[in-house]
Amino acid sequence: GETIGILGGGQLGRMLAMAAAQLGYRCHVYAPEADSIAAEVCGGFTCAGWDDAAALAAFAADCAVITYEFENVPVAPLAALGEALLLPNRRALEVAQDRLAEKTFVHGLGGRPAPFAAVDDAAGLAAAIATLGTPGILKTRRDGYDGKGQWRIMTPAAADGLDLPDQPLIYEGFVTFRAEFSVILCRAADGDIRFWDSPENAHAGGILARSTVPAAPLVQAEVAAARALAARVAAALDYVGVLTLEFFATADGPVFNEMAPRVHNSGHWTIEGAITSQFENHIRAICGLPLGDTRLAAAGVVMDNLIGDAAHDWPALLADPANHLHLYGKAAARPGRKMGHVTRLMLD
Ligand code: ATP
Ligand code: MG
Ligand code: MG
């Protein structure tokens, strides 16, 4: 088969490579780290850094198509790749890796983000708080994940002592939500869009802890509007592959939180819980193949992340024969680090 290139070497790349292998493809993982957990299950390709133009050119020469498994890949070096080679395209990556660009873009398509303001310094933060009030959350515009690079600001006075990082920030009003959920879709090059059932997502300490399908009725009531927005986002970006939008379910309908131009942790349940997983459909989409059925394969599904030392006693997790255990092969279990996940299907 042909070779698929994956930018990024984390667990999402690893699971993409496993789905690709099932369809007869070979994968090469491109990452600055020498032995990534993704490269362990396919071919690795080490670069000196994301701006290593010679390494990127050599990597690209090997690949029929290139995709990415995390959104913080610098966009500029990717301009050297042919337009058709990178899927999803560079524009999708560019929009989704900057919270300000992302919220502005989605707002322009009729979406409703939390009220937000760009912040570049202490005076800007004071101005944002004067306009939007507290409580609110200050976030780095780029590079944040799992709640990293965020500060909750409960009172205007609390902002005074903050030691602001020297990078562009965004301040958002705190959303009073009833639940969180995500819309996970796959769009083929011909515009065909499939949605998976929307999981309800519970976070702990800013990190996804559990995704549950089906979501509570109050979430389900907001899925149609959220899907319509997600489909507009995908079409406007001429998007190919899996796209995820995170939402807050509120008394006034869905509030857009953020998007990820990739397969998503809240879609891991689809490996066993859907007819076709997010990983397989992403590979199908970028390879120009027809998309598989996204419907639920059980009455319900629960996916729990194994964070920090939660994966430590994994034989005990396997003692329950209903558990589908996924371990990512990470060497060191640090607090807050995603080490694996467990999926359980409800059969009736
Ligand atoms: P991810 O790992 O999903 O990429 P992230 O680091 O990009 O996470 P966010 O999704 O912005 O972070 O925020 C993490 C969590 O913090 C959200 O899922 C939500 O629980 C909470 N949160 C973030 N922004 C807000 C907000 N404006 N109002 C209320 N809660 C929020
Ligand atoms: Mg994020
Ligand atoms: Mg998030």
Question: pLDDT tens digits, residue range 208-235?
Answer: 999 999 999 999 999 999 999 999 999 9
Please state, in angstroms and rounded to a whole number, the distance separating the CA atoms of residues 270 and 252: 29
Domains of the chain in sequence order: 3-86 (3.40.50.20), 115-173 (3.30.1490.20), 179-346 (3.30.470.20)
Q: What is the DSSP letter of 296?
A: B
Chain-centre distance of CA 144, in angstroms? 11
pTM higher than 0.90 for the full model? yes
Contact of 21 with 81, CB cutoff 8 Å: no
203 alpha carbon to ligand 3 midpoint, in Å? 9
Q: How many Cβ atoms sit within 10 Å of the Cβ of residue 68?
A: 24
Annotated binding residues for ATP? 99, 139, 144-150, 172-175, 180, 203, 257-258
3-state secondary structure 143-205: CCCCCCCEEEECCHHHHCCCCCCCCCEEEEECCCCCEEEEEEEEECCCCCEEECCCCEEEEEC
pLDDT > 70 fraction of the chain, expressed in percent and rounded: 100
Mean pLDDT of 127-151: 95
Q: Which of 143, 238, 142, 230 is nearest to 181 (CA)?
A: 230
Please state, in angstroms and rounded to a whole number, the distance separating the CA atoms of residues 285 and 291: 7
Tokens of 135: 């409580």
Contact of 136 with 180, CB cutoff 8 Å: no
Which residue ranges have their beta carbon within 6 Å of ligand 1? 114, 137, 144-148, 172, 174-175, 180, 203, 206, 246, 257-258
What is the band of 161 on the pLDDT scale with cuts at 50, 70, 90?
confident
- Dump pLDDT digits (tens) for 82-127: 888 999 999 999 999 999 999 999 999 999 999 999 999 999 999 9
Q: Which atom of ligand 1 is nearest to the CA of 137?
A: 27
- Dump pLDDT digits (tens) for 241-261: 999 999 999 999 999 999 999
pLDDT at 139: 97
pLDDT at 46: 84
